[in-house]
């Protein structure tokens, strides 16, 4: 299959490399100078999209997605598929899908879970929105780049699923870190805390699979000085998207709102920028009740 791939950063580059390894013809474009074995680089997004059966985008935000879509959609062949793997706001995903469909294209919004490691290892999870025909066109590529793809519904449903999932993740990580900090101050050993909670009703992914306490549970970024597996900056981005969506849908999400505020404080006015989102634990360790 001839594939255009636009946005070859930390996530896009290994995803494109896996498509090349599987035998696909990939033409790439990125604003930065990028070299990936087997990927032919074009001098514009439109050039990368010309003649492609599928165009994949992996971009930083909805504004950039809309701009890139405006360039590539006119260059694409009718019947081709535009597959956006960025994490963006639901309104941008739906607007781009509508523009693509009006031009006779198939459109899929398919944000991913699994991080840079999942992109490199081809073990990403794709949450996809779009028509059945659009999802069917993209599905063989999802199988190469990931281990699971879920068709969540119509345009925007993939972004909605990603945003809701990561709102839960952000809220749960804060609660897990708070609980460890409280356990410390109550004199409860962290390993004993983990042994109880990980097999009790406090069980969660943030406790059991991604424990924020160093030396407790499976190996996680906490064991590597909180170097990012999933950066706090990216969690803040996703929480902001969740609250933008909540405002648009008139949904009451007080915990999501508070999580956004806490991560904003952590990233923008404390030492959270460039650290893993589980580094909330050392943050809470240092704080006293009622501290600003």
Q: Which positions are catalytic?
A: 162
Length of the chain: 292
Burial class (CB in 10 A: 0-12, 13-18, 19+), 264: middle
Helical segments of 186-202, H only: 190-197
The tokens describing 92, both together, are: 């941008």
Integer Cα distance of 175 and 194 in angstroms = 14
Return the closest-CA partner of residue 237 out of 172, 179, 159, 175.
159
Q: Where would I find the H helices in the chain?
A: 12-21, 45-49, 62-72, 90-102, 115-121, 132-145, 157-185, 190-197, 205-208, 232-249, 254-268, 280-285
Cα–Cα distance for residue pair 283/274, rounded to 1 Å: 14
Q: Which two structure tokens, joined as six digits, stand for 271?
A: 């030492």
Closest CA to 163 of 86, 98, 272: 86
By CB atoms closer than 10 A (0-12, 13-18, 19+), residue 242 is buried
Distance (Å, whole) CA 60 – CA 291: 34
Cα separation of 178 and 43, whole Å?
Answer: 49
Q: The tokens of 183 are what?
A: 């356990």
Angstrom distance (rounded) from CA 193 to CA 8 = 42
């Amino acid at each position: 299959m001839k594939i255009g791939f636009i946005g070859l950063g930390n996530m896009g580059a290994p995803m494109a490399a896996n498509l090349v390894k599987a035998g696909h013809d990939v033409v790439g474009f990125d604003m930065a100078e990028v070299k990936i074995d087997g990927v032919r680089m074009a001098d514009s997004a439109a050039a990368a999209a010309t003649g492609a059966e599928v165009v994949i985008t992996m971009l930083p935000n909805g504004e950039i997605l809309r701009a890139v879509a405006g360039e590539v959609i006119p260059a694409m062949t009718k019947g081709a598929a535009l597959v956006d793997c960025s994490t963006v706001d639901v309104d941008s995903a739906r607007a781009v899908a509508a523009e693509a469909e009006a031009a006779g294209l198939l459109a899929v919004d398919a944000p991913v879970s699994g991080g840079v490691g999942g992109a490199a290892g081809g073990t990403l999870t794709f949450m996809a929105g779009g028509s059945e025909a659009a999802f069917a066109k993209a599905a063989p590529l999802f199988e190469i780049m990931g281990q699971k793809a879920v068709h969540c519904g119509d345009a925007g449903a993939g972004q909605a699923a990603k945003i809701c999932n990561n709102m839960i993740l952000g809220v749960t990580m804060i609660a897990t870190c708070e609980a460890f900090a409280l356990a410390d101050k109550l004199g409860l050993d962290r390993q004993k805390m983990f042994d109880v909670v990980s097999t009790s009703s406090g069980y969660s992914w943030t406790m059991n699979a991604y424990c924020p306490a160093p030396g407790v549970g499976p190996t996680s970024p906490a064991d590597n000085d909180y170097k990012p597996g999933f950066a706090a900056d990216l969690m803040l981005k996703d929480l902001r998207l969740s609250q933008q969506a909540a405002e648009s849908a008139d949904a009451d999400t007080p915990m999501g709102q508070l999580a956004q505020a806490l991560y904003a404080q952590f990233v923008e006015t404390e030492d959270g920028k460039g650290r893993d989102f589980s580094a909330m634990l050392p943050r809470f360790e240092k704080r006293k009740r009622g501290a600003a």
